[in-house]
Structure 1
Amino acid sequence: MVINQKNEKTYSGEYASQVNFPMGGIGAGMICLNGTGALTGFSLKHLPDVKNNPAIFSAINIKGGKTLVMEGLVSHESMRLDFNYSRGSGHKLYGLPRFKNSSFSSQFPFGKVALSDDRMPVSVEVSGWSPFIPNDEDNSGLPVIAMEYTVKNDSDTEKEGIISINVPRLFGSRLAKFGQKETGNLSNQGIRRSKNGFTMFNKGSDENPEDEGYFNVSTDADENAVDIAWFRGKGSDVSTILWKNISSGKLIDNSEIITNPPSPGASISVPFKLKPGEEKTIRFMISWFVPFSKIRTGAPTQYAKLDAPSSIKEENYRPWYSNRFSGIDEVSSYWFDNYKSLKEKTEQFTKTFYSSTLPEEITEAVAANLSILKSPTILRQYDGRLWGWEGTLENKGSCAGSCTHVWAYAQSIPKLFPNLEKGMRDIEFKESLCIDGWQTFRTPIPTVQISNNDPQSWGKSQDVAIDGQCGTIVRFYRDWRINGDTKWMKKHYPSIKKCMDFSIKRWDPDETGYTPEPQHNTYDIEFWGQNGFASSYYLAALKAIILMGESLGEDISRYQKIYNLGKEYLEKELFNGEFFIQKIIWKGLRAGDPLKADSLLAAYSPEASELLKKEGPKYQYGEGCLSDGIIGAWLAKIAGMEDICDSDKIKSHLISVYKYNYKKDLFDNEGFNRAGFALNEDGGLLLCSWPKEKSISLPFQYSTEVWTGIEYQVASHLLSFGKVKEALDIVRSCRKRFNGKNRNPYNEYECGYWYARAMSSYSLIQGITGIRYDAVDKTLHIEPQIKGDFTSFISTATGYGTAGIKEGKPFVDIVEGDINIKDIYYVK
C-alpha cells in the first residue's frame, strides 16, 4: 500500500519490497536502508556492489520481554533475490524474530522506517541519513552514514532494555557472512577498539593495495558496551552464541582477541530506561576509509601516461577523502565531533526543500533522483574533481567517463554543487580536449590529458558525439551564468572556440548551418543527414559561443552567420507542420559509404545492405516524432538563453511528442529491446513514434523504449510552455512505475542503476516556476506557469532558500549564504 502525504510517500507491505534508499557521501561509497530497515548494497570499495548485503543487524531486547531484530519481516521476494536462496539463505539470519509491522518513508536525505509489534511494549523509528548541504561538497562527500533508533514506550509501565548494532567483519578474508569458517591473520586484519566503538581493518598489500579498508562504528551514548571478541566457530556457531548474548539482556564488553583467527565481528550495546510515553534516540555513527582502488578506465585507451607514477597505488583511482583525511581515525573523529552541526545543516536543507508548494509529483521526482548523488554512479577523484559512470551494474560501473551525451541531461549538480560541476567543465575543456578541438565524450579515470590529436586515426565514427561535444559548450554557458565567474569563462574561451570550430568542421564543413555528416549520439548510433535532434544541439552551441564571445568583445560574426542559416533551415526544412523530423542523407557526403563506417551498432548483414539501397542507413528516425527531437532548445532554455528557433514550432513539437509518444499503458507497444524499463500496465513516454506511415524498416534500436531522463526533459520543456497537465501526466506515469513494488522508488535505471540522465528531473523546478538566478547580471528570473501564489526551492552558487510569489508579488527568502539580487525579472 502506498499512502500519499504532503511531499512524502509511505511504502509498506509489498510496496516496500523493492525499496533501497542510498546513503553516503558524494563519490564516497554507498550503503542503502531498505524498506524494512535493513542495511544493504554495501558499495564501499569504489565499485558498485549492490547485491552485497552483509548480515549487519540491530536488535532490541526488552528486560523480561522479547528480543527482536529492528527490521520488518523478511519478504519471500527478498529471499528469492538472494544468491543462496536454493540452499535456504542461512547466512543472512532471515529466521531471527522481527517486527510484524513496518513502513518506509523519506524526506531526502533522511530515510525512515516505522516499526511496531503487538508483542512489544515499545515502537521504534529507524532513521538513516548522511550529510547533504548545498554548496558544501566536502561535508556532503564524507564516507559516513548515521543510523538513529528512536524507541518509544507505548505501555503504561516503565521499561528497560538494550539496543545493539552487530557487524560481521567487513574487510578481510571472511566476507561478512555467517556460517563460514573463520580465517585470517591478526597481523594484517582484525578489529580494534576506538572511541565509543570499534574499527574493523584490513591492511592490504603492495600487490593488492585496493584490499586495504577500514570500517568504524561508534555511539555518542555515555553508557555503552563494546564486544570485539565474538565467539569463533563454523556453521551457525557464531550467530547462535551472538543471539544468545543479545537475548540475555546483559551488556557484554569484551577486549580484543590476540590469537588467530580474528574476531568474526563486533557489537555495540546501549541500555535505555523509559517511563510511559517517553522516548529516547540512540545513535550509531558509521564511517569507512578505503584509500586505494583497482579502477583505471577510459575509452579509448590511448592516453598520455600519468606523471611519473611511483607505484600501482598512484596509477589507479583514489578517492578524494583519502586526500582530505589521513585515515579512519581522523574520519570517525570528524564525524563524531561535527555530527550535531552537520545534522542541523542537513535538516535545514531538507526543511527548506520540502517547504515547496509545487505539485507533489515534481518534488518527489526531484528528490528521488538526488539519490544518484549518493550512489556508486559518482566518484570524486583525489584532486576533488567529479567523475561519473553513466550508471551502475550489480558489481561494476556501466559505461565510463562522465559521458557527455548522457550527463548533458543532468541538472541537479550545477544548481546544488556548482563547484563540482565547474570541475567537470575544467576537465572537458582541458584534459579531454585535443589540440584541434576534438573532445572525447568519455573521460578516463584517473583523469589525464588525451594524447591522440586525430580522432580519425582511430577509424571509428563514434569517437566523437555531436550531442556530447555541442552539449558541453551549452553547459559551459549555463555554468558561467550560475557561478558568475567571467574570468573562468574567459580562461577557457579559446578551448571552447576550438571545440566549436571542430564541430563545424566535422558536421557542417560547408558552414550551411545544418549537419549533414553522420552524427554519433546518445542512442549509440549515427544519424545520417539533417535532423532536429542534432541541429538543435548545434544551434544551441552556436548561440552559447555567440553570447560568451560577445561578452568578451570577440568577433562572433562567423558563428552568427552559421547560426542564422541553421535556424532558417531548421524552421523551414525540418519542421513538417507538427514536429521536427530527419532528412536521411547518405550519398555525396565526406563520410563516404555507410557500409564501411565503423559504427558501434550499425554493422550490415547482406539483408541490411539491401535495405540500405532502398531506405538508406539503418537506425534512423526519418519522419518519426522523436521525443528528443528539439532537445537543444531545452538545454538552451535551462541555460538561460532565449529560444533558439521559432517558439511556436518548439511548442508544437512538444505537444506532438505528448500526443503521439505518451502512452497511459504499454499493452500494445511493440517493444523489441529493453522492455524492463516499462511494460504492460506501465505508462510512459516512448523515445519515438511514427504517426504517419513508417518508412523505415530498421529504426534506431531504442526507439520503443522508455527512459526517465528523457521523460523529465520533455516534461520540463512542456512546463516552460505552460502545458502543465501534459507535463504532469508524464511525471506521474514515470513515478508510478517506481512504486516500491515493481521498482525501487530511489533508483531510476536505464543502462544501469542510478542512471545519470535521470537527474534531468531537477529541471522540472525551473520548468514550472521559471525561477533562475543569473549570477553574471545579478538578476532573479521568475516566469511561473502556475497561477497564484507558490513557494519553490532555489539554490545558487552562493546560497539557497525559497522563492516564489506571495500575495501576487515575487519574494526571496534566503536560508543559507547570500544571493546578491540587483533586479527581479518577473513575467506574469
Structure 2
Amino acid sequence: MRSFKYIALSYLIFVISTGTTSAQRWNEGWPVLKTYEGKYLDEVAMPLGGIGTGTVSIGGRGDLRDWELMNRGALGYLPAFKLVAPTISNGPFFALYYKQQNKEAAVKVLEGPVPIKEYYGDWGADAVNSGFPRFETTQFAAAYPLSQVSFEHKDVPVAVRLEAFNPLVMGDADKSGIPVAILRYVLTNNTNQPVETSVVGMVPNYIGVDGWSGKPKGNYNEYRESKGLKGLYMYSDGVDKKDVNWGTMALTTLADKEVTYRTSWAKLGWNWTFREFWDDFVADGKLTDHPEKVKNEKRDSTEFIGDDLGSKSAKIKTPPATLAVKQILQPGESKQVTFFLTWHFPNRRAWDHGTHHAGNYGGDTIVGNYYTTIYKDAWEVAEKTAAELRDLETETVNFVKTLVDSDIPNILKEAGLFNLNNLRSQTVFRTKDGLPFGFEGTGSIKGTKIGASKSSGWGFGTCFHVWNYESTIPFLFGDLSTKFREVEFMHATNEDGAQSHRVALPIEKGRNFKHWAADGQMGTLIKVYRDWQLSGDDARLKEMWPYIKKAMAFAWTGIWDTNKDGVMEGSQHNTMDINYVGPNPQMAAWYLGALKASEQMAAHLGDKTFARECKDLYIKGRKWVDANIFNGEYYEHHIPEGASKVAQLGKGCLVDQLVGQYLSHTAGLGYVLDKDNVQTTLKSIMKYNYVDNFNEHFNTFRSFGLGNEAGLIMASYPRGDLLDFPFPYYTEIMTGFEYSTAAHMIYEGQVEAGLKIFKAIRHRYDGYKRNPFNEGEYGHRYARAMAAWAGILAYTGFQYSAVNETMNFNAQTGKYFWSNGYQYGTISVSNSDSGKTVTLTPENGDLMLRSFTLNGFGKVRFRKGKVFKKHEPVQFAVTANDAEAGLPAHAKLE
C-alpha cells in the first residue's frame, strides 16, 4: 500500500538523471489506496464509465474486459472475440512498438501474462490476444476511480505506466456521468540512447451486438479530426436505429503529431489478417489503412476496396478501429499518449433483462438514457471531455485525495470508495428525463450454474428494501439522491399510501407493481428526511409531503400496524423475501425511525396534528418493543400463537435486526430504541453471528464465504428453537447486511468489532479470490453493498443539517474527510489548553454554519452564522460544555 504527496496542478512527475533513468512507478499526483500484484491481480477489474452510462473494465494485467457499454449488464463479454473469422486473436488491445538504434523493432501487447487458468481450452489457450508477446509482470494501484498499471519487462527499454480513470466529481452527477474511459500511457526512456516508440489501440466496431442479442450489420469506421482530437468514429449503416444495441463509439487521441490509423484491417484467410496487421505495425510503428468503403465522387456511390491479394473481399463485420501514436523518446525523457474511448447508445428498454423482460413492469418500451440527451454522439462526448479534461481530472483527484489522505482507517476508505463503482455500473441507469433507477445487481453473460439462469439485470424496479441500505449516494450526490426520493414518492406511492416497492417503467406506470414491503416503505420515509436535512430544500419537501404523509399513515391504515399501537404485527413483506407475522425487531426499528422522521417533517411544515399522531405512536411503540421483545441479549421475533412458522425468524439473532437504527443514525435522528439495549444487541450479533472459518460452517443456500474466510451470517439461534423451515437466507452472508451492521457497531463505539467485519469482507474481495470492485449478492455490483460508505460516516461521527445549518463531528484528534452530498472538505481536531481546536476547510464550495458540535464534548455557536469559504481553512476553539449529541462519543478509536 502506498500513499504519495499530491501536487495540485501536475499530471506527471518523473525522476530524471543523467544517463540511464527510471520513471516513478506511480503518478505522484494521484493518490493510491491499494496495490495488487502477483496472484492478487487475477480477478481485478475496475469499471470505467459514468453514472448511468455503462462501463468497460480495466483488468489487473492492463487488459480491457467486461464490455458493458450498451444498455445491459454483460459481465464477461468481450466484443468480437472469435467473431471475425478465421482469426481468433482480434479482441480489443493496446500495444507498444519500440525500436532502439541498431536493434530490430519489437511489439508487445500492453498486458501482463495470460492467467494460468486460461492456458487450456478446446483450441489451446482460451485467452484473447494470447498470440501477442507481452510484458512479464504488472502491478495495479487504485484509489477508485483512479487506477494505474505498471508494466515491466527486463528487455523493454522504456518504462510504461497506464493511468486509467473516469471523472468522478463529487456533488455533480452530470460530470460524473460521462460515457468515457480515459487511458493515458506514460512512457519513459530508460536508456542513454533515443528510442522510437508507438502506442497502438484497437477496438472492434461491434455496434449491434452486446453479448445478449443482436448482430453487427453495415458497421464502418471513419477517421476524423476536430478540436484537438484525432481518431476513429464508429457507426452503423445497417443496424436499426431503434434497436437497443444501436449507437456510436469513438476511439480518439489528444496527440497532434505522428498519428496513423486503420479504419479496418485486410480481411484475409487463416491467420493472415492478424499477420498483415503485425507486419505493417512492426515495420515502423505506423499503420496503413485498409478502408472498407470510399466515396466515388464521379458516381456518387460506395464501392468496396480489394485486399492485398488483389481480389475484392467481403467486409469485416466488426471492423477493427485502430489508432497509433508514434514518438521518439530522448534519453531519460518521458512522454504520454492519451486515448479516449467514448460511446453513445440511446435506446435503453424498460427493465431489460437481456433474455426476458419484467412482464407488465417493463417490456419493449424505450425509456432512453439521460446521458445521450447531453451529447449528440460519441464524437461529441470525446470533444467535450477533451476540452474539460484538466478540470475534470483535477476535481476527481482532489476529491479522492482528500479522502485517502485523511486519518480514517484505510479499510473503511477502501470499502466506501471501491463500492462506489456500483453506482456507475449497469446496476444503475437514468432514463431520458433524468430520473434514476436501479437493478439490485447486474448479470453476467455466463449466468449461474447453480441456478441455470441468465439475466443482464437481477431484481428490477429499484427494489426499495434493497436500496434502503445504501448510504453512498446521499452523501456524495445529493441532487441525484433526491431524484430517487422523487421516484419513490411522486411516482411509486399509490393513492392509499401504499408504495410499489418495485417501480414499473415507463414512469407513468410506476405504481403498477401492486406489492408493498414494510421495510422498504418505512426506509423511504427515513431517507426522505435525511435527504431533506442534507439539502435544506423545503420546496421539494412541501411538494412531496402529501405523498410522504400518505405513505406514513398506510402503516396503520393498511396491513402492518393493524391496531395502531406503534408496533407492526400484521403480514410484513421484507427483504428476506418472506412475510414476517407478529412483532419483530427488523420491522420495529424501521417503523420507529419512520415515525420519528415523519414527526419532525410534519412539525417543520406546521402539520401539528400529524406530528402529534406520529410522536404518540413512536413513544408507544418504542416503549413496547424495548419492554417486550428484547430478551436481555438481543431483540426476538414473536410469532403469534397459531400462526404458521414457515419462512419466519422466530428466536433467531438477526444480523440486521437494528437496520432501522443504523439508517436513523446516518440521518441524524438519534436513538429510536433504548441505547443500552442497542449496544448489547450489537455485541450479541458479533458474538453469535460472526463465523471465522466457513470451512466449518453449514450453509443451506448461496455461498458468499468459503474456506477460511470470515463474516457475519444472517441469523444464529444461540437460544435454540431453530425453526424447521426458517427464512431461506439464514445461513448466508451478504456484504450489504454486514456493512450496515458493522457501521452501526462503529457508531456505538464498538470500533474494533466493526473494523474486524470490514476487514473480513475486503479479505474476501482481495483480487485473487474475487474482484475488489464487484461485491455481489443477487447479481454483481450489488446495490446494497453501497452501505459501505456508512463506515466513514460512523467513524467520523459526521452529521450535517442544511435545514438548521449545523455540523457534528467526533472529538478524536486527527484530520478527517467529510461530505454532505453537495460540499466536501476536511476537519482537523487537535487538543488545546482550553479544549479542542478545530480547523474546517471546504474544498468545492462555500459552507454556511450556525453551530458546530464535537459529539459528547462541546458546541460552538456562530451567532450570525458563518460562511466558510472554499479552500480557506478556518480555525476555531470548542470548549467542553457537555454538548448533547445525537451519537455516542468514542472514547478511543484505533
Q: TM-score, normalised by structure 2?
A: 0.83
Measured in 2, the distance between the counterparts of 1:41 and 1:701 equals 31
Shift of 1:155: 2.0
Could you list the per-position Cα deviations for residues 653-701 of structure 1 after superposition, in whole angstroms to 9, with x for gaps in the alignment? Answer: 11111111112222221101011x1022001011110112234122111
Matched, 1:781 2:801: no
2:853 to 822, 825, 828: 825
Residue matched to 1:475: 527
Shift of 1:638: 0.7
Q: Per the alignment, do residues 297 and 200 of structure 1 end up closer, same or farther by CA in structure 2, a change over 3 Å counting?
A: closer
Measured in 1, the distance between the counterparts of 2:408 and 2:570 equals 43
Q: Per the alignment, do residues 245 and 9 of structure 1 end up closer, same or farther by CA in structure 2, a change over 3 Å counting?
A: same
1:386 to 429, 436, 456: 436
1:249 to 284, 302, 309: 284
Shift of 1:277: 2.4
Aligned residue identity for 1:69: V
Matched, 1:15 2:40: yes
1:414 to 455, 459, 474: 474
> SS state of the match for residue 276, structure 1?
coil
Aligned residue identity for 2:827: A
1:806 to 830, 834, 838: 830
Shift of 1:203: 4.3
2:49 to 5, 16, 24: 24
> SS state of the match for residue 103, structure 1?
strand
2:372 to 300, 322, 331: 322
Aligned residue identity for 1:213: G
Question: Residues 295 and 317 of structure 1 are in contact (CA less than 8 Å); yes or no, is this contact kept in structure 2?
Answer: yes
Shift of 1:151: 0.9
List alignment gaps of at least 5 residues for structure 2: 5-30, 80-90, 294-302, 305-313, 446-455, 858-894
Question: Residues 798 and 819 of structure 1 are in contact (CA less than 8 Å); yes or no, is this contact kept in structure 2?
Answer: no
Residue matched to 1:607: none
Matches within 5 A, 1:254-273: 254=289, 256-258=291-293, 259-260=303-304, 261-262=314-315, 264-273=319-328
> SS state of the match for residue 812, structure 1?
strand
Question: Residues 351 and 460 of structure 2 are in contact (CA less than 8 Å); yes or no, is this contact kept in structure 1?
Answer: no
Residue matched to 1:644: 672
1:793 to 801, 817, 830: 817
Aligned residue identity for 1:67: V
Residue matched to 2:254: 220
Residue matched to 1:87: 123
Measured in 1, the distance between the counterparts of 2:266 and 2:351 equals 40
Question: Residues 381 and 446 of structure 1 are in contact (CA less than 8 Å); yes or no, is this contact kept in structure 2?
Answer: no
Shift of 1:559: 1.6
Matches within 5 A, 1:428-827: 428-450=488-510, 455=514, 463-505=515-557, 506-554=559-607, 555=609, 556-585=611-640, 587=642, 616-675=644-703, 677-784=704-811, 787=812, 789-807=813-831, 808-827=836-855
Question: Residues 3 and 11 of structure 1 are in contact (CA less than 8 Å); yes or no, is this contact kept in structure 2?
Answer: no
Q: Per the alignment, do residues 564 and 204 of structure 1 end up closer, same or farther by CA in structure 2, a change over 3 Å counting?
A: farther
Q: Per the alignment, do residues 424 and 793 of structure 1 end up closer, same or farther by CA in structure 2, a change over 3 Å counting?
A: same
Residue matched to 2:332: 277
Q: Per the alignment, do residues 300 and 160 of structure 1 end up closer, same or farther by CA in structure 2, a change over 3 Å counting?
A: closer
Shift of 1:90: 6.4
Aligned residue identity for 1:353: L
Larger fraction in helix: 1
Could you list the per-position Cα deviations for residues 613-649 of structure 1 after superposition, in whole angstroms to 9, with x for gaps in the alignment? Answer: xxx3212121111111111111111111010021110
Measured in 2, the distance between the counterparts of 1:795 and 1:247 equals 50
Shift of 1:353: 2.0
Shift of 1:374: 2.0
Measured in 2, the distance between the counterparts of 1:211 and 1:265 equals 18
Shift of 1:372: 0.8
Aligned residue identity for 1:573: N
Measured in 2, the distance between the counterparts of 1:471 and 1:479 equals 12
Aligned residue identity for 1:470: M
Matched, 1:76 2:116: yes
Matches within 5 A, 1:145-294: 145-172=181-208, 188-195=218-225, 196-203=230-237, 208-223=242-257, 224-254=259-289, 256-258=291-293, 259-260=303-304, 261-262=314-315, 264-294=319-349
Q: Per the alignment, do residues 586 and 757 of structure 1 end up closer, same or farther by CA in structure 2, a change over 3 Å counting?
A: farther
Shift of 1:338: 1.8
Matched, 1:424 2:424: no
Question: Residues 7 and 364 of structure 1 are in contact (CA less than 8 Å); yes or no, is this contact kept in structure 2?
Answer: no
1:134 to 170, 175, 189: 170
Measured in 2, the distance between the counterparts of 1:450 and 1:155 equals 64
Q: Per the alignment, do residues 69 and 814 of structure 1 end up closer, same or farther by CA in structure 2, a change over 3 Å counting?
A: same
Measured in 2, the distance between the counterparts of 1:197 and 1:318 equals 27
> SS state of the match for residue 847, structure 2?
coil
Measured in 1, the distance between the counterparts of 2:671 and 2:754 equals 19
> SS state of the match for residue 571, structure 1?
helix
Question: Residues 116 and 122 of structure 1 are in contact (CA less than 8 Å); yes or no, is this contact kept in structure 2?
Answer: no
Could you list the per-position Cα deviations for residues 328-360 of structure 1 after superposition, in whole angstroms to 9, with x for gaps in the alignment? Answer: 232221122222221122122222221211111
Matches within 5 A, 1:43-54: 43-54=68-79
Shift of 1:172: 4.5
Question: How many residues were matched structurally?
Answer: 768
Residue matched to 1:343: 393
List alignment gaps of at least 5 residues for structure 1: 177-182, 307-311, 456-462, 588-593, 595-615
Aligned residue identity for 1:365: A
Question: Residues 74 and 210 of structure 2 are in contact (CA less than 8 Å); yes or no, is this contact kept in structure 1?
Answer: no
1:144 to 164, 180, 189: 180
Q: TM-score, normalised by structure 1?
A: 0.89
Residue matched to 1:309: none
Q: Per the alignment, do residues 173 and 625 of structure 1 end up closer, same or farther by CA in structure 2, a change over 3 Å counting?
A: closer
> SS state of the match for residue 696, structure 2?
coil
Aligned residue identity for 1:525: I
Shift of 1:771: 1.1
Q: Per the alignment, do residues 516 and 321 of structure 1 end up closer, same or farther by CA in structure 2, a change over 3 Å counting?
A: same
Q: Per the alignment, do residues 826 and 229 of structure 1 end up closer, same or farther by CA in structure 2, a change over 3 Å counting?
A: same
Shift of 1:99: 0.2
Question: Residues 98 and 198 of structure 2 are in contact (CA less than 8 Å); yes or no, is this contact kept in structure 1?
Answer: yes
> SS state of the match for residue 478, structure 1?
helix
Question: Residues 98 and 105 of structure 2 are in contact (CA less than 8 Å); yes or no, is this contact kept in structure 1?
Answer: yes
Could you list the per-position Cα deviations for residues 227-249 of structure 1 after superposition, in whole angstroms to 9, with x for gaps in the alignment? Answer: 21311134423222122222222
Q: Per the alignment, do residues 389 and 726 of structure 1 end up closer, same or farther by CA in structure 2, a change over 3 Å counting?
A: same
Shift of 1:255: 6.5
Residue matched to 2:458: 398
Measured in 2, the distance between the counterparts of 1:290 and 1:450 equals 24
Shift of 1:205: 5.1
Percent identical pairs in the alignment equals 30
Measured in 1, the distance between the counterparts of 2:845 and 2:336 equals 31
Measured in 1, the distance between the counterparts of 2:323 and 2:802 equals 49
Shift of 1:79: 5.4
Question: Residues 481 and 774 of structure 1 are in contact (CA less than 8 Å); yes or no, is this contact kept in structure 2?
Answer: yes
Q: Per the alignment, do residues 172 and 633 of structure 1 end up closer, same or farther by CA in structure 2, a change over 3 Å counting?
A: closer
Shift of 1:122: 1.3
Q: Per the alignment, do residues 806 and 161 of structure 1 end up closer, same or farther by CA in structure 2, a change over 3 Å counting?
A: same
Aligned residue identity for 2:425: S
Measured in 1, the distance between the counterparts of 2:808 and 2:119 equals 51
Could you list the per-position Cα deviations for residues 546-599 of structure 1 after superposition, in whole angstroms to 9, with x for gaps in the alignment? Answer: 010111121122222211111011101010001111001264xxxxxx7xxxxx
Aligned residue identity for 2:74: D
